[in-house]
Amino acid sequence: MKVSLKKHWLVKPAEPTWNGTVSLSECDQTFSLVHVPTIYYYRLCHDCDTSIIKTSLSKALVHFYPLAGRLRWIEGSRLELDCDASGVVLMEAETNAKLDDLGDFSLSPDYSISLFPRVDYTIPIDELPLLFVQLTKFQCGGIALSFAISHAVVDGQSALCFLFEWARLALGEPLMSAPVHDRKVLRAGEPAIRPPTFEHLQFNPPPLLIGKSSTEYEKKNVTKGSMLKLTKNQVEMLRKKANQGRNLEDNKERSYTRYEVVTAHIWRCACKARGHKFEKPTNLSICIDIRNRMNPPLPKPYFGNAIIDVVATGVSGDIASGPLECAARRVRTAIEMVTSDYINSVINFLKKQEDLSKYQDIHAIRSEDGPSYDNPNLAVTSWISLPLLGLDFGWGKEIYMSPGIEYDGDCVILPGNEGHGSLIVAIGLQADHGEAFKKFFYEDIKC
Ligand code: COA
C-alpha cells in the first residue's frame, strides 16, 4: 500500500483569538507529551471536499484557539503555551489501496504506511504544531481521517470534545458548548505551597528486567500493534471469573467493572507472553479522569488534561499464575486511591519538583530516557466510556475508528463494534511477544 502526500496547509483560526501565554497545569506537563494518534475510516464519499474540512477547522480553532498555539520550554523542564494563532497542519493524501484491503482492521494501523501524520520531533518545540490532520483518499472512494494531537495540551476527553464540535461546525450546526479554557481550576501557574500528603509510587522509576539498567535495550525491538476483539459474552465470562467467591449478594462488595477485569486479564497475559521470571516486579499504569473526582468537580467541558496516572504493582509470577481476581483487586485498589485529596497531593508533589523532566514520557521529543511502559510494564488506558463514535463531517458516520498504537506496553481498551458490551483491546507489544499474547488472551477465556 502506497500513500502519497498531495497537498498541505497551515490552517489558522478564522477570526482573531485571545493572544497571550498560558501556564499549563501539572496534569498537562507530566507523563506523555507526544502527539496522540487516532484514525477514523469512512466508506464511499465520492464528493469528499477538503475545503469543507479546511474551512470548518479554521472556524473550530476560533473556539479551541490553544490548539493553534505553540509550546515553549521554561525553567525546570516545564512548559507553557503561547496562544499566538500560529496554526495547525492539514494534509491531503491519496493511496493506491481500497478500504477493503485493510480487512477487518484487526491490525493496528501501521505508521510506516503513512495513514497517520508523522510528527517530526527534530523541529524545536516552539515551532512544532500541536495538531496535525491527514485526510487520505482511497481508490474505492473511502477516506481515512487521522489526527495527531499534542497530549501536553489536551487529554482524550478534550480532544474528542474538539473533534465533535469541529464536525458540528462542518455540518453547519452551532457548537454544543463552549470549551472552558481556565487551567487555573487545576492550579496551573500556582507556586508550590503545600507538601504532598500521600505516597506517590507512580513517580518512582518503573521496574526494569532483571539484570538490566535501562530500557534502551527493549526500545530497540520492533513493536507491533494488534486489535483484539472481545464479545460481550467473553467480557462477561471474565467478569464472572473475577467475581467468583466474592460477596456481591448484599452489596458488601461491588462487582468488578469491564475495565478492571479486562485490564487484569491483559496484565496476566502480558506477564505470560513476555516470559518474565517469577519474581520480576511489574507495574501497570492506569490513566484516571479526574474531572468528577475533584471536589468541586471541574467545570464542563474543561479543555486541557484532567487526568493523572496511578500504578498497580505486582510480581509477574503472582499476576500470571494467581487467579484473575488477584490482578483485578490490584487494579481496583489503585483506582480507589484517587480522591480529591489524593489529586491535590499529586499536584503538590509535582509543584515541588525543581525539574519535571523525569516525570515526562517524551520518547521522541528528547533523547533522554523518561519513564516508559516497556517490558516488564504496561499502561492500560480506558476509552470505554469516551464519546468516540459517530464522528460525522458530512459524509456519514465512520465505519471504524482506532487509536494508533506505537509503543511496547501501550494499550487502550475501547468499545467494540460487535454490539453493546463488546470491547476492543488495542495493544502494542514487541513482535516476539505479540503472538504469544494473542494465544494466552483467547485461550484463557475458553477455560
Ligand atoms: N457512559 C456509559 N457507561 C458509563 C459511562 C458513560 N459515560 N461512564 C461510566 N460508565 C459505566 C462503565 O462502563 C462501567 O460499567 P461496566 O462495568 O459495565 O463497564 C461503570 O459505569 C463504572 O465506570 P467507571 O466508574 O468509569 O469505572 P471503570 O472501572 O470502567 O474505569 C477508570 C475506571 C479509572 C479507568 C475510569 O473511571 C477513568 O478514569 N477512565 C479514563 C478515561 C479517559 O479519560 N481516557 C482517556 C485518557 S487520555
Ligand 1 atom 22 nearest Cα: 257
Which CATH superfamily, name and number, covers 3-186?
A: Chloramphenicol acetyltransferase-like domain (3.30.559.10)
Query: What gap in Å lies between CA 34 and CA 423, rounded to an integer?
Result: 26
Query: What gap in Å lies between CA 7 and CA 443, rounded to an integer?
Result: 47
Query: What gap in Å lies between CA 153 and CA 33, rounded to an integer?
Result: 9
Q: H or E element: which one contains 224?
A: strand 223-230
**pLDDT tens track for 17-75:** 999 999 999 999 987 788 999 999 999 877 788 999 999 999 999 999 999 999 999 99
Ligand 1 geometric centre to CA of 154 (Å) = 19
C-alpha cell belonging to residue 262: 479486562
Q: Are 312 and 281 in contact (CB under 8 A)?
A: no
Ligand 1 geometric centre to CA of 288 (Å) = 9
User: Which pLDDT does position 370 carry in this prediction?
Assistant: 42
Ligand 1 geometric centre to CA of 308 (Å) = 15
Peptide bond just before 296 cis, omega within 30 deg: yes
Atom of ligand 1 nearest to the CA of 151: 48
Every domain of the chain and the residues it spans: 3-186, 204-446
Residue 18: other Cβ atoms inside 10 A: 12
Show contacts of 258-262: CB within 8 Å, 24+ apart.
258/384, 258/413, 258/421, 258/423, 259/331, 259/382, 259/384, 259/413, 260/328, 260/331, 260/332, 260/335, 261/235, 261/324, 261/328, 262/230, 262/235, 262/238, 262/413, 262/423, 262/425
* Angle 192-197-203 from CA coordinates, rounded to 5°: 75
Residue 1: other Cβ atoms inside 10 A: 14
Query: What gap in Å lies between CA 15 and CA 366, rounded to an integer?
Result: 34
Eight-state DSSP code of residue 174? P
Label residue 1 by pLDDT band (50, 70, 90).
confident
8 residue type, one letter: H
Given this chain, do its domains 3-186 and 204-446 carry the same CATH topology? yes
* Angle 318-288-57 from CA coordinates, rounded to 5°: 135
Instruction: Kindly tell me if the per-residue pLDDT of 316 is higher than 70.
Output: yes
Q: Which residues are identified as catalytic?
A: 151, 392
Ligand 1 pocket: which of 257, 262, 381 to mutate (most atoms within 8 A of CB): 257
Query: What gap in Å lies between CA 271 and CA 444, rounded to an integer?
Result: 13
Atom of ligand 1 nearest to the CA of 36: 48
**pLDDT tens track for 379-402:** 999 999 999 999 999 999 999 999
C-alpha cell belonging to residue 179: 470549551
Instruction: Kindly tell me if the per-residue pLDDT of 428 is higher than 80.
Output: yes
Atom of ligand 1 nearest to the CA of 159: 48
User: Which pLDDT does position 367 carry in this prediction?
Assistant: 39
Classify 343 as helix, strand or coil: helix
- Least confident piece of the model among 142-146, 210-214, 306-310: 210-214
Ligand 1 pocket: which of 382, 410, 424 to mutate (most atoms within 8 A of CB): 382
Label residue 128 by pLDDT band (50, 70, 90).
very high
Ligand 1 geometric centre to CA of 156 (Å) = 13
Atom of ligand 1 nearest to the CA of 332: 29
Q: Are 116 and 134 in contact (CB under 8 A)?
A: yes
User: Which pLDDT does position 247 carry in this prediction?
Assistant: 86
Q: Are 87 and 12 in contact (CB under 8 A)?
A: yes
Query: What gap in Å lies between CA 434 and CA 137, rounded to an integer?
Result: 30
CATH 3.30.559.10 fits 204-446, yes or no: yes
pTM: 0.94
Percentage of the chain exceeding pLDDT 90 = 76
Q: H or E element: which one contains 242?
A: helix 232-243
Label residue 371 by pLDDT band (50, 70, 90).
very low
List all residues whose CB is within 6 A of at least one atom of ligand 1.
155-157, 257-260, 287-289, 307, 335, 381-386
Ligand 1 geometric centre to CA of 416 (Å) = 15
